[in-house]
Amino acid sequence: MSLRNISITIYTLVVSLLLQACGSDSPPADAGAVAAESQQFYEWKLATTWPKNFPALGRAPEIFAEKVEAMSNGRMKIRVYGDGELVPALEVFNAVSAGTAEIGHGAAYYWKGKVPEAQFFTVLPFGMNGHEMQSWILYGGGLELWEELYVPFNLIPVPAGTTGVQMGGWFNKEINSKEDFQGLKMRIPGLAQDILSRLGGVPVNMPGSELFTALQTGVLDATEWVGPYNDQAFGLYEIAEYYYYPGWHEPGAVMEFLFNKEQFEALPFYLQEVLRTAAAAAGVEMTNEFTARNALSLSDLEQTHGITPRQFPDDLLQELNTIAQEEIDKLANLSSAAAEIHASYREFEQSIRAYQDVSEEAYVRARNL
């Protein structure tokens, strides 16, 4: 064997060992393949459920795309499409599943009509907050269950930060008791739709871009959206006077990147890691953007636009919580997957609450003494 052949053999062996160490499923057969792979450029499409460049929610996929291009040294470019530019918001799941777009950005509870169990991975009414949810997903076994749930759809989910506790929504009248929900046409996502139905209300699944007009024209009597920052961006304060808190229905929604599984797994391993790392980083940026901007927007809504947030009455919240637990149990009984995800969620929730009692909650009590 010539010296050149020996060196190629050693190089191939080292590359192969490195790729195995990285956990690659499909290491290239030889050094030539590695070289060819490193020369390849990728142009991918990302379909979002938000208006293009919408604050925080819509900025997250843009930040993601910028990071991917920089971290891949320009080997991968991602074009971001807002709601309706490539597909309508609520078609993103199907579009990424079919490969019309390689990536999607939204929230898992939007797909409840197709995959009801997905709702567990965004948020549960009166359930874990955003910080706790992310801990469950990343360190409590949630992500593995989420990935398994999406395998039949040729999709890989990646968590992407949280909105934090949301607001309770904008109403065209005062809400004093559960009777005030009767006949109320309200845009609200996820399991809260079933709770609203139980109260005699009419839940509507509608992307954010349609909310202002729907509320203005009376198609809706009420809508929740996110928090002060995003609600202000849609101008909801111009058409609804009553702004309620807390967002019992969304105590910290976790956002979602969707990847077409087949196309993702065909990528070189380093690009897969670039995509995962950029998604995580964009999620951290979005989470912090929400906290900082929500505070500013709340102040602006109060001082510039004369909005005085109102708190839902305690007895109403208790009744909503009772119904919520019944609806969550119904969801848990829907399938064996739902039962398994629910059990994992509850086990983690129980342990984190015991810890939160002596950490976050104890501290908040202490600083308010």
- Using CB under 5 A as the criterion, which residues of the chain lie in contact with Ca ion when the complex forms? 166, 224, 250
Write the CB contacts of 295 (distance below 8 Å, at least 6 apart in sequence).
228
Other C-beta atoms closer than 10 Å to the C-beta of 173 total: 12
* C-alpha Rg value of the chain to the nearest Å: 23
Whichever of 274 and 301 has its CB closer to Ca ion, that residue is 301
Smallest gap, in angstroms, from Cβ of residue 169 to Ca ion?
8
Closest Cα to residue 122, out of 98, 80, 94, 93?
Answer: 93
Whichever of 230 and 356 has its CB closer to Ca ion, that residue is 230
**H helices within 173-310, ranges in order?**
192-198, 211-216, 228-233, 261-265, 269-303
Whichever of 34 and 226 has its CB closer to Ca ion, that residue is 226
Whichever of 55 and 140 has its CB closer to Ca ion, that residue is 55
Whichever of 154 and 205 has its CB closer to Ca ion, that residue is 205
| ω into 61 cis (within 30 of 0) | no
Smallest gap, in angstroms, from Cβ of residue 192 to Ca ion?
9
Whichever of 250 and 349 has its CB closer to Ca ion, that residue is 250
CA distances 320 to 163, 166, 191, 198, Å, are 22, 16, 12, 10
> Contact, 176 vs 194, CB < 8 A?
no
Write the CB contacts of 165 (distance below 8 Å, at least 6 apart in sequence).
129, 130, 227, 246, 247, 250, 251, 252
Helix axes 142-150, 130-139, angle to 10 degrees: 80
CA dist 10 and 33 (Å) reads: 15
Smallest gap, in angstroms, from Cβ of residue 143 to Ca ion?
22
Query: DSSP character for 179?
Result: G
> Contact, 293 vs 55, CB < 8 A?
yes
Whichever of 169 and 268 has its CB closer to Ca ion, that residue is 169
